Structure 1
Amino acid sequence: MTGRRRWTTEEILDTAAELLRAGDAETFSVRKLAAALGTDSSSLYRHFRNKTELLRAVADRILVAAMDGYRPEGDWKQRITAVALRLREAFGRHPQLAAVWGRYASGGTGSRLVMEEILQALRTSGLPEADIPARYHRVVVLTAALIAAEGGFGTLTPEEYEQGMEQFRVAVLGADPERFPALAHFARSVQPLGADRLAAFEEILAAQLARIEATIP
């Protein structure tokens, strides 16, 4: 009798990533993954202790891919910005996984690569050593939040996007000027949340780095 195929960790992560692209972290389960692989859940628990550990491993592979070929260039702000934009681009190709990273984070090689570069960049900034961990945390929380928010837009179908745009136009252009005077005044200038995301990402990150710079002795 032929035994079940033994799947490698990489093959399991490949299949998990495909399932997540078609769904999300809420609907994903180890049972569904096992069914897609043609095996039982118990065989997967030899590789990962639980669903959370598995999701973290999938997200970590995106971080590894983002840092592949990275070389530090420029000053500390340019280095941190370059890493953040690499992460944004990598998760932009896998928007469903952006929410996974934002929620579950990661503790693998990819996470260590990102942490190491941001910490190294901050060490060259002139910040006191005691201030670096807190500043690092602010940068990473901000970056992860922005990327996770963008991931939500990236998963919308064309129909959902158009429906959202129509609702936005109704809410803004149809605002009662007596009850919402400011909204009515700026109605034709206000953009929906999904518009011009790259410029917003860069501007918000730059503001955070400027705040850090202002505290350097």
Structure 2
Amino acid sequence: MAGRRRWSTEEILDAAAKLLRTSDTESFSVRGLASALGTDSSSLYRHFRSKTELLRAVADRVLLASMDGYRAEGDWKQRITALALRVREAFGSQPQLAAVWGRYASGGAGSRLVMEEVLRALQASGLPDEEIPARYHRLAVLIAALAVSEAGAAAITPEEHEQGMELFRVAVLGADPERFPALAHFARGIRPLGADRRAAFEEILAAHLASIEAAVPPGAP
């Protein structure tokens, strides 16, 4: 009798990414992936030691895809902004994996490419070397948080969006002015979290980059 097919690491990652397009990370399992591939879990554990390691590898491929065709152009702020927007767009197409990246991070080739470019851009800013690691960490946390938030909104179904809008209207526009005077006062100007997310992403990132620029010593190259 013919043995079961041996799946390559890349084929396993392809199948995992496909499953994650239609399910969340909590319901995703190595056993379910093995079943989809027509094999047993033990064969997959020869490639990945755990579900977390597998999820990290799938998320890293999103980062790797975000770097495809990237060219370092412009000043250091433009480089970081372009990179952040690429990461945002890449995870926007697979929002479930954004949560994986935000929760577990990644140590693969995609992650290293992103880290390398951000660190090089910060070097080009003129910051002293001793300040760059801490600045990098804060910037990485910010980009990850913004990307995860954006991707989470992208995963909402039209029905869920409409339900959320109805809750927003009740909670904000219908706020009791005696109990929530400030909310009632500004209600007409407050917008749902899903509104203008791209502009908010760019403005928050720009503000953070401006704070880094302000910390560059005068006369730095």
Count of aligned pairs: 217
2:126 alignment partner, SS class: coil
User: Per-residue CA shift, 1:71-110, capped at 9, x if unaligned?
Assistant: 0011111100010000001111111111111111110000
Question: 1:89 is matched with which residue?
Answer: 89
- Partners of 1:195 and 1:26 lie apart in 2 by 28
- Partners of 1:18 and 1:164 lie apart in 2 by 28
Question: 1:53 is matched with which residue?
Answer: 53
Question: 1:116 is matched with which residue?
Answer: 116
Aligned residues: CA RMSD: 0.7
Question: 1:75 is matched with which residue?
Answer: 75
- Show structure 2 runs of 5+ residues with no match: none
Question: 2:159 is matched with which residue?
Answer: 159
TM-score where L is the length of structure 2: 0.97
User: Per-residue CA shift, 1:125-183, capped at 9, x if unaligned?
Assistant: 11000000000011110000111111211111111110011000110110001111111
Letter in 2 for 1:136: Y
Shift of the alpha carbon at 1:9?
0.8
Matches within 5 A, 1:55-204: 55-204=55-204
2:21 alignment partner, SS class: helix
1:82 alignment partner, SS class: helix
TM-score where L is the length of structure 1: 0.99
- Partners of 2:195 and 2:6 lie apart in 1 by 46
Question: 1:25 is matched with which residue?
Answer: 25
Letter in 1 for 2:146: L
2:8 corresponds to 1:2: no
Letter in 1 for 2:6: R
Question: 1:216 is matched with which residue?
Answer: 216
Shift of the alpha carbon at 1:18?
1.2
2:49 corresponds to 1:34: no
After TM superposition, where is structure 1 displaced by more than 4 Å over at least 4 residues in a row? none
The alignment-based identity, stated in percent, is 78
- Partners of 1:22 and 1:150 lie apart in 2 by 18
- Show structure 1 runs of 5+ residues with no match: none
- Partners of 2:98 and 2:195 lie apart in 1 by 18
